[in-house]
Amino acid sequence: MIHTYFRLGLHDPTSRALTDHIGLLRTAYARGLQERPFQTLAITVLPNELHALWALPDADPELPLRVGRLKSRFGHALVRATGQRDDRLWRRGIAEHRIRDETDLALHLRYVAEAPLRAGLVQNPLDWPYSSFAKRAGAKPQPPEQSQEQSQAA
């Protein structure tokens, strides 16, 4: 397995599209996982950024294709849900880092977990509901109020 950290960002730094439409993002993510399997080691979704650490199969380590499809699926679903077209939804490209060793892996797991803390969204990463960190740590953060869209996607 090839471990890779990446970060995606929305073009508009004030957008809350990723968390406001978390159900759409989860659906796009699940389709990508079915189409080209990978293992999610850690993920944190902020209102305008997604931080993730994936384990990609040695036989199919293609990160840009997977991420491109995720961005495309979410963008199309967002247009269908809101009726608003935004040709510049995502920042161009992705920030990517291939994990070198166990120390690097631990550093990036922590980096993903602490993303909402660095963004000033919570005082404790365990309190952020859109992160795998609380689940890995065995904590149960309070779920956010769900919109009708989110309830249907759950």
User: Is 111 marked active-site?
Assistant: no
Question: DSSP 3-state assignment of 86?
Answer: coil
β-pair type (39-45, 49-56) = antiparallel
β-pair type (2-9, 95-98) = antiparallel
Question: Distance (Å, rounded) from C-alpha 146 to C-alpha 144?
Answer: 6
Q: Does an H or E element contain 65, and which?
A: helix 63-82
| Tokens of residue 60, six digits | 């199919």
Q: Which of 93, 105, 94, 103 is nearest to 3 (CA)?
A: 105
Catalytic residues: 130
